[in-house]
A = this chain, B = another copy of it.
């Protein structure tokens, strides 16, 4: 014991946003809390930080434990530390968020761990300050979708432009002009068109694209600002 000071419980909470190209809906993963206080209520997934564990690893562990998922986008957002935030004791909580490309396999994995997906406008009441956390996450989603390619984290590796457009419409909750959207996103050169079409949504079929990480990094280092929020 090298420092002489009182210690504090430190926890992780994790916002897990998921998007399914099929039903075109943004979803949030919630869990029915098993421990008191508030056993039986809905909450974000979370857990305590261990002494011998980097906080980013705690976040990965929490995500893995509750969803079975790993190697997905996971980033720190903010730390919540009001003394009265948890009536069960003084717990400071570090909020992370994860963005998931939903498919049936991942839905099954998550379901088998007991968590449940909720549509963003149909959330139940949440415990503690978790509602504030959700609000922060939603506003970050809107803010970041403009300037960084978090959108691609929510889509499968191969996706069509209409799917990407539909995702942005879901994030911003309004309709976007498809001609301008297309022009803008293609002019940035961060998409690679494949010689494949996806025909699940139309008879004509839509070209599949991949995200071009390299070009995106170049653009970003040049200080480019995507600004995809097109009326």
Q: Which residues of A contact B (CB under 8 A)?
A: 1-3, 5-10, 37, 48-56, 58, 76, 78-79, 81-83, 88-92, 94, 223, 225, 227, 229
**Judging by beta carbons under 8 Å apart, are A91 and B51 in contact?**
no
Query: Chain B contacts of A55 at CB under 8 A?
Result: 79, 81-82, 92
Nearest Cβ distance between residue A37 and chain B, in whole angstroms?
A: 8
Copies of this chain, complex-wide, total 2
| Cα distance, A231 to B79, chains bound together (Å) | 36
**Judging by beta carbons under 8 Å apart, are B79 and A79 in contact?**
yes
Nearest Cβ distance between residue A137 and chain B, in whole angstroms?
A: 16
Closest residue on chain B to residue A47 by CB atoms:
B5
Decide: A79 near B82, CB < 8 A? Known: A10-B8, A48-B5, A51-B90. no
Q: What are the 7 tightest A-B residue pairs by CB atom distance, in nearest-first order? A: A55-B81, A7-B7, A5-B48, A2-B88, A79-B79, A2-B89, A8-B10
| Cα distance, A56 to B85, chains bound together (Å) | 13
Nearest Cβ distance between residue A23 and chain B, in whole angstroms?
A: 28
Query: Chain B contacts of A91 at CB under 8 A?
Result: 3
